[in-house]
Structure 1
Amino acid sequence: MTDTPKGYWVAHVDVRDPDEYKKYVAANATAFAEFGGRFLIRGAEQDVVEGQLRSRTVIVEFPDLAAAKACYESEAYREAKALRDPVSDADLTIIEGWGG
């Protein structure tokens, strides 16, 4: 019996207005709770050793890829994202974890 691979959001973010961004952080909790998301990395110190990344990295783990996608497409997350978009620039991918 194999376990279903987890789903992940991997985001790289530049925040232009930290005070306004806090509203997004508070609002996204609803969607993440609904779809079983939990933070593995949330803007911790990073050392980019190759290439270029944005200043902040965030990784959110979900029970599976379907939950990760459903969270992003949910009304609760769309409402949170509307708070994030005007105050930050982000690159985000939703990816399935390795099942090996």
Structure 2
Amino acid sequence: MKAYWIAHVDVDDAEHYSQYTQRAPAAFAAFGAKFLARGGRSEALEGRATPQRSVVIEFESYEKAVACYHSAVYQEAKRYREEWARAEIVIVEGIAPL
């Protein structure tokens, strides 16, 4: 079953954050990830205020989604994000097609 990273990100320094966005795609490519949403318009209808960026990334399995996050390549990229942005990342397993 597919799985998804759902991330909400608030960027404090776009110039420095770009160091993350230059490095992270290597991890996603290594695990066959597919971006379904990245930035773009969004509106919070319930809960906290709309984050600056909402991202949805699809993986072939829950295990690949988790492995990508814990991979050395992603953890290296993450170091560049942590100082310049605040992120909430959830991995959620998809459902069987109806």
TM-score bracket, shorter-length normalisation: over 0.9
Letter in 1 for 2:26: T
**Deviations for 1:31-88, whole angstroms, at most 9, x for unmatched residues?**
0000011111111111112221422111110111110000001000000000100000
Unaligned runs of 5+ in 1: none
Normalised by the size of structure 2, how large is the TM-score?
0.93
Which residue pairs with 2:37 in the alignment?
41
Normalised by the size of structure 1, how large is the TM-score?
0.91
Percent identity (aligned): 42
Question: Equivalences for 1:23-62 in 2 at 5 Å?
Answer: 23-52=19-48, 53-62=50-59
| Divergent runs of 4+, >3 A | none
Question: For 2:29 and 2:53, how far apart are their aligned partners in 1?
Answer: 22
Q: Secondary structure at the match of 1:67?
A: helix
Unaligned runs of 5+ in 2: none
Q: CA-atom RMSD, angstroms?
A: 1.0
